[in-house]
């Protein structure tokens, strides 16, 4: 067993049990004119990491590491969308409404699509999730068990919401998680910084963090 240089200490890499999970790199969150921007957010912070996420994905593919993608989205009839989620705040557009990229966060809508630069290849697992975490109301745990995977490199957006929620869900289920620090981002830089601190506090209470360069170096790509 080898390790990946990480904080708060080396990540105990087991290559045969490792996968990359890329959280919600969707047009509605990252591109101008999408849902994220309609909420008043600077999507430029998220779009800036796209090349780094792409490099991480391509490196993992080259190393034979399975790549899993997630999409936050709901059924067209909104049966899986709790009113508390749709109605929170006072946005100009709500989930299910017609936006510039089709119905917001509805499965199959153009805005729900994963960005072309980091799109799944044929055969790669795509998890459509109705919540923030990738385990809630999805088949992710069954898919990981089927593939005998127990470790996850985590990337994507946003750091403090869907990424952190997924890591905490995974942690409770016994998975070891390594967050790629420069392949995740938040609309709020202080939220990202706080999340990184929380994840690796108290001896990696939720998981480890490392740069993409360090991760790819350990994977020999």
Active-site amino acid positions: 24, 129, 162
What element of type H or E holds 125?
Answer: strand 125-129
Query: Quick one: which of 72, 210, 71, 221 has its CA closest to 151?
Result: 210
In this structure, how many other beta carbons lie within 10 angstroms of the beta carbon of residue 3?
Answer: 12
184 DSSP 8-state letter: E
Query: Quick one: which of 207, 124, 148, 125 has its CA closest to 14?
Result: 148
- Residue 154 CA to residue 181 CA, distance in Å, equals 9
In this structure, how many other beta carbons lie within 10 angstroms of the beta carbon of residue 180?
Answer: 25
Q: Give me the DSSP letters along 20-77.
A: EEEE--BHHHHSTTSHHHHTT--THHHHTTHHHHHHHHHHHHHTT--EEEEEE-B-TT
């Amino acid at each position: 067993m080898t390790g990946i240089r990480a904080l708060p200490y080396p990540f105990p890499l087991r290559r045969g049990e490792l996968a990359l999970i890329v959280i919600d790199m969707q047009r509605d969150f990252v591109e101008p004119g999408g849902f994220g921007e309609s909420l008043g957010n600077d999507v430029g912070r998220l779009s800036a990491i796209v090349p780094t996420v792409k490099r991480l994905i391509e490196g993992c593919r080259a190393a034979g590491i399975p790549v899993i993608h997630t999409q936050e989205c709901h059924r067209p009839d909104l049966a899986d969308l709790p009113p508390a989620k749709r109605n929170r705040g006072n946005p100009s557009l709500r989930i299910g409404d017609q936006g510039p990229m089709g119905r917001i966060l509805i499965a199959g809508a153009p805005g729900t699509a994963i960005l072309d630069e980091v799109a799944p290849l044929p055969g790669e697992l795509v998890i459509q999730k109705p919540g923030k975490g990738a385990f809630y109301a999805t088949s992710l745990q069954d898919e990981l068990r089927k593939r005998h995977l127990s470790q996850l490199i985590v990337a994507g957006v946003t750091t403090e919401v869907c990424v952190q929620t997924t890591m905490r869900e995974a942690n409770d289920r016994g998975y070891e998680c390594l967050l790629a620090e420069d392949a995740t981002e938040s609309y709020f830089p202080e939220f990202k910084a706080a999340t990184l601190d929380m994840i690796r506090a108290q001896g990696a209470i939720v998981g480890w963090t490392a740069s993409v360069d360090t991760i790819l170096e350990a994977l020999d790509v």
